[in-house]
Structure 1
Amino acid sequence: MDIDQIVKIHKALGDRTRYKIIQIIGKENCLCPGQLDCSLDGIPLSTLSHHLKQLSDCGILNSEKRGTYIYYSLNEEIIRKYAPDVYDISINPVKPKS
């Protein structure tokens, strides 16, 4: 992977909404935008699509078309390699101490 791709990955992870999208998809494994929309507090679908495209373009998300819907999942290889802390939080969320 070249340096431009690595920079794209880190820029994508620098946005709070995209970070939250990764956390949600990591917990659920595979979601379409309509399913994500409910968890993101009223973000317009067009904005959500923009975030998903950026995450897909840099390789963080995989996309799979099923009928008329596109489902997104984490590209675990890319996340583990370039953002291991994000992977750990997405798959194994930190629980608050009692």
Structure 2
Amino acid sequence: MDEEQLVKVYKALGEPTRLKLVKALVSAPQMACQDIAEKLDIQANSTLTHHLKLLTDCGLLVVEKEGTYRYYSLQKDVLKKYAPTLISE
């Protein structure tokens, strides 16, 4: 097990907003930034960007760019490895 990634994943999921974000993406194949902001009621783009960057850096999220839009989806294999209970909820 990669201890560095383990620490990053648990640190990222230890923050309530990021945990809600991951839970929201469990039921959706992918979401755009605007959809995530609306679902989680995040007003500041910089706040959302910060959370998305941390989740992407630890390997939990993948970003797909399409024009000016960015779509985020879960790396389910990483989630299954480090936090399998989130998938079964």
**Length-normalised TM-score, structure 1:** 0.85
Aligned to 2:16: 16
Identity of aligned residues (%): 44
- Evaluate the alpha carbon distance shift between residue 77 and residue 55 of structure 1 in structure 2; reply closer, same or farther with a 3 A threshold: same
Instruction: After TM superposition, list the pairs within 5 Å mapping 1:1-98 onto structure 2.
Output: 2-89=2-89
Runs (4 or more) in structure 1 with deviation over 6 Å come to: none
Q: For structure 1, list consecutive stretches of 5 or more residues without a partner in the other structure.
A: 90-98
One-letter amino acid matched to 2:41: D
The structure number with the bigger radius of gyration is: 1
Kindly provide the CA deviation profile for residues 32-89 of structure 1, in whole angstroms up to 9, marking residues without a partner as x.
1111111112441110110000000000011111111110001000000111011222
Give the Cα separation in 2 of the matches to 1:39 and 1:20: 10
Give the Cα separation in 2 of the matches to 1:68 and 1:43: 20
Give the Cα separation in 1 of the matches to 2:62 and 2:13: 15
RMSD: 1.1
Deviates more, 1:24-33 or 1:73-82: 24-33
Deviates more, 1:12-21 or 1:1-10: 1-10
One-letter amino acid matched to 1:28: A
**How many residue pairs align between the two structures?**
89
